[in-house]
């Protein structure tokens, strides 16, 4: 969102820091571009763990929502997201979790293990129900099952007609900056699907794939070419023209650039020939993937909103425009950026960290030191802003009920 609009919202106390601000107009424009690229060749699945606060809106824009925990399913229920739009994935699903998902009408359940297979099968037989399932193939990590286990289930599928095995799920990691790995993985699964056809006469209907497309965050990265990998992978799928549908499961790539993190300059000092700016937020709110101990510099804007009542308090006597940005936590680790040129700063100025829409909102250690949790706002346009979370205290969670 434009900094002039944010400044107006701050001055009118419509929003207050520390906070995240999501721009729905920007998000929709981004999704429009993705849909234009993928067309009918690839379906789009939103992995809601990237930012659960945007799930209600994302359900209106994508083919399906991927849910990876019982809590995420509860969020979907609260947002009235239909079960037909949900793929229920994630390890350690219990019999109760599966029953809950089935009773809500979840359309597809991912089998992460042989245990999951038995739990889903047993529920269906006990309740005279049926469900569509994806079998997740392990890449060697803790997710999914082995190829031999997958083949055994497919081979004997006639013994459990209550399970409609519609396809395979495969994901190996995030922030892949070269698509050669993705192409290798797509070919791997395509070969497996052909093997399942030749050996067991199995017709795959859907391949849900997590390409882990990279998002630019830092100085020197290619912000202009952010869609290149999606274009190339979609073209590759289109050229292969598989007999099954392909769905790209994405989280970070959908929402990273849709949200900004705002934090106010609360104190300024110069020690050991370093300008230090202390803000009302910190690492308990903001976490960029690959920032390398705050050594890399994300895109930062400044809203000059100096508190004139403080006069000369906090000014530094230096021509050095480089700053170390630190947060409010009582730990040496609370450094957001070790060195960045921000020009002259004053108390009350607001730093705007861009591309903060993925994972920070839930992955940063927000409960550490029991500080107030950051507010969360969604802007439908410049005139409509809604508070999704405001003035929630962490100490209320970090103490005995």
Instruction: Say if 3-20+257-396 and 25-256 have the same CATH topology.
Output: no
What is the mean pLDDT of the segment spanning 361-370? 94
Mean pLDDT along residues 318-343: 93
What is 3-20+257-396's CATH number?
2.40.37.10
Burial level of 96, CB count in 10 A (0-12/13-18/19+)? exposed
Full-model pTM: 0.96
Q: Does residue 320 register a pLDDT over 90?
A: no
Whether the predicted pLDDT of 18 surpasses 80:
yes
Domain 25-256 has CATH 2.102.10.10: no
pLDDT interval class at 202 (50, 70, 90): very high
What pLDDT is attached to residue 317? 67
Per-residue burial over 299-312, b = 16 or more CB atoms within 10 Å of its CB, e = otherwise: bbeebebeeeeeee
Residue-range domain boundaries for the chain? 3-20+257-396, 25-256
Specify the 3-state DSSP secondary structure of 327: coil
Tokens of 25: 């107009």
Among 258, 226, 256, 246, smallest CA distance to 34 is for: 226
177 against 32, higher pLDDT: 32
| CB-based contacts of 59-65 (< 8 A; 24+ apart in sequence) | 59/85, 61/28, 61/31, 61/35, 62/31, 62/254, 63/247, 64/107, 64/108, 64/247
Q: Helix, strand, or coil here: 106?
A: coil
- Most confident among 4-13, 197-206, 336-345 (mean pLDDT): 197-206
CB 346 within 8 A of CB 299: no
The tokens for 182 are: 């993705």
Q: What percent of the chain has pLDDT over 90?
A: 90
Instruction: Calculate ∠ Cα 395-294-331, nearest 5°.
Output: 40
Give the pLDDT confidence score for residue 292 in this predicted structure. 87
Q: Confirm if 123 and 160 have CB atoms less than 8 A apart.
A: no
Q: Is the pLDDT of residue 72 over 70?
A: yes
Q: Which residue would you say has higher pLDDT here, 32 or 305?
A: 32
Mean pLDDT of 20-30: 97
Mean pLDDT of 318-338: 93
Is the per-residue pLDDT at 81 higher than 80? yes
Q: Is the pLDDT of residue 82 over 90?
A: yes
Q: Is the pLDDT of residue 315 over 80?
A: no
Supply the pLDDT for residue 211. Answer: 97
User: How large is the average pLDDT for residues 79-89?
Assistant: 98
């Amino acid at each position: 969102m434009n900094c002039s609009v944010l400044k107006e919202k701050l001055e009118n106390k419509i929003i207050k820091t520390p906070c995240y601000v999501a721009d729905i107009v920007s998000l929709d424009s981004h999704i429009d571009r993705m849909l234009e690229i993928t067309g009918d060749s690839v379906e789009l699945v939103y992995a809601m763990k990237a930012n659960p606060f945007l799930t209600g809106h994302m359900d209106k824009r994508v083919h399906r929502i991927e849910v990876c925990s019982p809590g995420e399913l509860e969020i979907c229920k609260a947002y009235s997201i239909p079960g037909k739009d949900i793929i229920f994935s994630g390890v350690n699903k219990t019999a109760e979790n599966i029953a809950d998902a089935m009773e809500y009408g979840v359309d597809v359940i991912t089998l992460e293990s042989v245990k999951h297979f038995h739990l889903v099968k047993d529920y269906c037989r006990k309740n005279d129900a049926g469900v569509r399932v994806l079998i997740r193939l392990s890449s060697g990590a803790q997710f999914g099952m082995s190829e031999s286990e997958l083949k055994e289930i497919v081979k004997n599928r006639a013994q459990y007609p209550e399970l409609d095995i519609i396809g395979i799920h495969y994901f190996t990691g995030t922030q892949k900056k070269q698509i050669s790995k993705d192409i290798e993985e797509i070919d791997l699964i395509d070969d497996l699907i052909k093997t399942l056809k030749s050996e067991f006469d199995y017709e795959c209907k859907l391949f849900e794939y997590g390409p882990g497309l990279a998002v630019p965050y830092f100085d020197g990265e290619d912000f202009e070419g952010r869609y290149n990998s999606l274009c190339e992978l979609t073209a590759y799928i289109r050229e292969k023209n598989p007999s099954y549908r392909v769905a790209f499961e994405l989280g970070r790539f959908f929402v990273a650039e849709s949200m900004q993190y705002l934090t106010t300059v609360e104190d300024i000092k110069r020690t050991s020939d370093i300008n230090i700016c202390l803000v009302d937020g910190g690492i308990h709110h903001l976490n960029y993937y690959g920032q390398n101990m705050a050594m890399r510099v994300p895109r930062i804007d400044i809203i000059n909103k100096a508190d004139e009542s403080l006069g000369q308090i906090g000014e530094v006597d230096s021509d050095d425009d480089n700053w170390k940005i630190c947060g409010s936590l009582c730990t040496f680790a609370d450094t957001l950026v070790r060195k960045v040129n921000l020009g002259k700063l004053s108390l009350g100025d607001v730093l705007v960290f861009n591309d903060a829409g993925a994972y920070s909102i839930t992955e940063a250690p927000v409960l550490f030191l029991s500080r107030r949790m950051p507010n969360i706002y969604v802007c439908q346009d410049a005139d409509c802003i809604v508070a999704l979370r405001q003035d929630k205290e962490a100490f209320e969670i970090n103490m005995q009920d």
